[in-house]
Amino acid sequence: MFKISEFAKLSQVPPKTLRFYDQLGLLRPAHIDPQTGYRYYTSEQLLVLHRILAFKDLGFSLDQIKGLLRERISSAEVRGMFRMKQAETQTMIRTELERLRRIEARLEQIERGEADDSPYDVVVKRVEPMKAITLEAVTARSDIPDLLDEVDAYMRRNGASGTFPRIVVWHGCPECESNIQLEIACPINGDMPETGRFRVKRLPEMVAASVTHISRPDLDSPVSLDLGRWIERNGYEIRPDTPSREVYLSPREDGEGQYVTESLMPLIY
């Protein structure tokens, strides 16, 4: 058996905590010396202590843990609880990371707004009509990467290889509060089978203000400010009946989820 100081060293739980667990009836010492009052523990009690700590990590109170220990929850049930908690925590982390990225993007937009110069060159170009496979959705911008992956998988299932540009056509959604109506399009040369999700369409030609930059598909880009300023300063008007587009040309190896992107704003020309 181990003295409380030895057991504390083995378990990395302070003696004060072990005494508290004894008072609560969570973890009684295996033996208490009647003359000295010293507490002694066995190695098997490490298993009980680990279970107490596991339940604490799952968010249970000490009173709840006391009841769970009495019920003798099986190891399989504890593993199931941890897997559920793991999934919840992973979802929370992803949500908070997305929130952080949105905050960073908004900060960049604010900082860009305070500067008069633009790091991007805007040009006017004619975009030729193109045949494309398209996937329509009313969704949040944060879902665009999953839609891009879905289009990629469809293309490869139907014989496409290598890398190909993916186009987001922004239709807008006046009735939506937070979602956006959009199409994910991928240019094709020949024929592709249509499904309930995928349609073959011809994207019309347009004249557009074009700017190439680095962006993430799931985040608003501050480049819209540069486009807006350039259009105003050069006396152009945005064509109201033609959706804007973002063309994701190639992923950056050194940037998480970032792409070389061409933003296209249709102009009356």
Rounded Cα–Cα distance for residues 69 and 84 (Å): 20
Residue 159, pLDDT > 60, answer yes
> What's the confidence (pLDDT) of residue 64?
84
For the cut 70, the answer to whether the pLDDT of residue 116 exceeds it is: no
This prediction has a pTM of: 0.60
What are 4-25's pLDDT values in tens digits?
Answer: 999 999 888 999 999 999 998 9
pLDDT confidence of residue 263: 93
- The pLDDT, as a whole number, for residue 36 is 87
**What tens digit of pLDDT does each residue of 75-101 get?**
787 778 778 878 888 888 877 777 776
Residue 198 binned pLDDT confidence (cut-offs 50, 70, 90): very high
**Cβ-based neighbour number of residue 10 at 10 Å:** 14
In the block, residue with structure tokens 């008072």: 23
The DSSP element (H or E) to which 251 belongs, if any, is strand 244-251
Q: Give me the pLDDT at residue 95, please.
A: 74
Exposure string (b/e) for 21-40, b if CB count within 10 Å is 16 or more?
bbeeebbebeeeeeeeeebb
Quote the percentage of the chain above a pLDDT of 70.
Answer: 91
What residue ranges do the domains of the chain occupy? 2-73, 123-266
Question: Whole-angstrom Cα distance, residue 66 to residue 61?
Answer: 9
Q: Mind listing the pLDDT tens digit for each residue in 207-253?
A: 999 999 888 888 877 788 888 888 998 999 999 999 999 999 887 66
DSSP 86-142: HHHHHHHHHHHHHHHHHHHHHHHHHHHHT-SS-SS--EEEEEPPEEEEEEEEEE-GG
Q: Which residue has the higher pLDDT, 161 or 12?
A: 12
2-73 CATH fold: Multidrug-efflux Transporter Regulator; Chain: A; Domain 2 (1.10.1660)
How high is the pLDDT of residue 262?
A: 94
In tens, the pLDDT along 28-64 reads 999 998 888 899 999 989 988 988 888 888 888 888 8
Instruction: Read off the pLDDT of each residue in 194-201 and give the average, rounded to a whole number.
Output: 92
Give the Å distances, CA to CA, from 39 to 9, 25, 50, 128: 14, 14, 19, 83
- The confidence score (pLDDT) of residue 110 equals 61
Superfamily of chain region 123-266: Regulatory factor, effector binding domain (3.20.80.10)
State residue 243's pLDDT score: 93
CB atoms within 10 A of CB 202: 10
Mean residue pLDDT of the chain comes to 85
Work out the pLDDT band at 191, boundaries 50, 70, 90. Answer: confident
Q: Which helix (H) or strand (E) holds 235?
A: none
